[in-house]
Amino acid sequence: MFPDPNESDMNIVHISAECYPVAKAGGLGDVVGALPRFQTELGNRAMVIMPMYRTPYLYSHNWQVVHKSSANLGHWFFDYTVIKEQTNAQGFELYLIDINGLLDRERVYGYNDDTERFCAFQISAVHWINAWDQLPDVVHVHDHHAGLIPFMMQHCYAFKRLAGIPSVLTIHNAQYQGQFSWDKSIYVPQWDSWKRGLLEWEGSINPLASAVKCAWKVTTVSTTYLHELRSMSNGLEPLFEYEKGKCSGILNGIDYTVWDPSHDRYLEHPFSTLHLSAGKKSNKELLCSQFGLDPSKPLFVFIGRLVGEKGADLLPQVVYDSFEFIGRKMTFLMLGSGESDIEHRLRQLNALSQGDYAEYIGYNERLSHQMYAGADFLLMPSRVEPCGLNQLYALRYGTVPIVRKTGGLYDTVIDMGDPSGYGFTFQHAAVGDVTQAIYRAVHFFSEKDHFHAIRQKIMGLDYSWDRSAAEYIRLYKGF
Ligand code: ADP
């Protein structure tokens, strides 16, 4: 049953596949780990429902069973258990759904039965909410893993009680849509067959498209990304054009309790604007010494998934061309994992290195913080970037972003050519454009006073969650 109601203004339920620090594969996890806390601080009651994976967080916290029941995934009858983190350690109520044989895995995604896993998760979440005495004021679903929920709440016979609850979809990444074929349509609990069109897109069941059609409101994590989706969204372009009236962009914030260079538990040398030069210098020296890089040269870093979406395939040639055409005037450090071909090509560059290139292939949260703190420039040649958090972290840590003008990068980084500028931007995801921007940055690095002033400025920019969290509340109150 739903725990005791309290006096808070709104009861908000977030449903997501990721939530930092419980389980994170990218920006979705960061957002769902922060937004509910800020909504709670604004006087609301916000909770997160997510799958119970077998991640370290599970074993280092105390849990209490709050609900046990069973449901159907097609002909398969399964039991599920809901557990609650007892201390609200994350600043909001956190509930995990356990389904043996499906969700009890170490990784979030990447299994052959992901369709079954996330369908069963969504069914359990809705099934549980349907059993509450007091229903929530809003159900906020994130990306396609929770995308069937607005449809289920409105058109599945078993959940008709939920049909009047406003639902919001936030799209963190529309590239992934969770499509599956109609022969698995029995995974959606018995529904009104006249509503078939609300599940379908281009001959398949498409959870993301279904959520765009059925959610009361749709948000994307930046305004420019929303515009881009109308012309480039992996097949959903006409849908975004048609539904534009209920869509809006709300930029993500960053969580200053985790991402603050003066209190960052991963840094050996925390720093603030007061000791900016000294702080950046000691972090850079430590980082460079770990990787055998020369700290006197400007340090360019990349942090992220090594996939085409992030423009990571351009990086090996960018490094090569920079050394070739600009000279050995800079150092590079790459952190990421992803497509094996890109990983391989980045490793191969080591042969070229004369103490000016290094890479770390893998996921390393600690190192990422040390890189934001120690780097001079952050490279983001993304082809698609719904919001992008890295550039916001970089700004906070006094690292100048070099970004392609797309999505949230367009909305958050102003080129140095503008009087109010503080970063470097370029138009195309092309080696030449990135190398040209690096050339400009190397020159800028030598203008010490200007460089220092820009660092001071970017560390003070406000991309806090307070602003974004309030915008979401305004959206909910508009129902
Ligand atoms: P996306 O969600 O598309 O991957 P975002 O910019 O929204 O991109 O979020 C990326 C988040 O993941 C940031 O917190 C970034 O620091 C982190 N990250 C990505 N790859 C790695 C990695 N290999 N090691 C550590 N952190 C990483």
Q: Which pLDDT tens digit goes with each residue over 89-136?
A: 999 999 999 999 999 999 999 999 999 999 999 999 999 999 999 999
**Whether the CB of 303 sits within 6 Å of ligand 1:** yes
pLDDT at 7 over 60: no
Instruction: Return d(Cα 327, Cα 213) in angstroms, integer.
Output: 52
374 within ligand 1 shell (Cβ under 6 A)? no
* 27 in contact with ligand 1, CB cutoff 6 A: yes
175 Cβ closer than 6 Å to some ligand 1 atom: no
What b-and-e string marks burial along 270-289, b requiring 16 or more CB atoms within 10 Å of the CB? Answer: bbeeeebeebbebbbebbbe
Q: Taking the domains of the chain in order of start, what are their residue ranges? A: 11-253+466-476, 273-462
Confidence of residue 191 (pLDDT cuts 50, 70, 90): very high
Q: Is the pTM of this model over 0.95?
A: no
- Domain 11-253+466-476 CATH assignment equals 3.40.50.2000: yes
Q: Residue 148, CB half-sphere, CA atoms under 13 Å: how many?
A: 34
| Ligand 1 atom closest to 336 (CA) | 23
Tokens read off for 479: 């129902």
Element (H, E) at 278: helix 276-291
DSSP designation for 245: G
pLDDT at 193 over 70: yes
- The finding on whether 370 has its CB within 6 A of some atom of ligand 1 is no
In terms of CATH architecture, what is 273-462? 3-Layer(aba) Sandwich (3.40)
Q: Which residue blocks in 304-404 are alpha helix, DSSP H?
A: 315-321, 340-348, 365-374, 390-396
Q: Given this model, what pLDDT does residue 430 score? A: 98
Nearest ligand 1 atom to the CA of 362 is 23
With a 6 Å cutoff on the Cβ, whether 366 touches ligand 1 is no
Question: Which residue minimizes the CA distance to atom 5 of ligand 1?
Answer: 27
Asked whether this chain's domains 11-253+466-476 and 273-462 adopt the same fold, the reply is: yes
Distance 305 CA to ligand 1 centre (A): 7
pLDDT at residue 2 is higher than 60? no
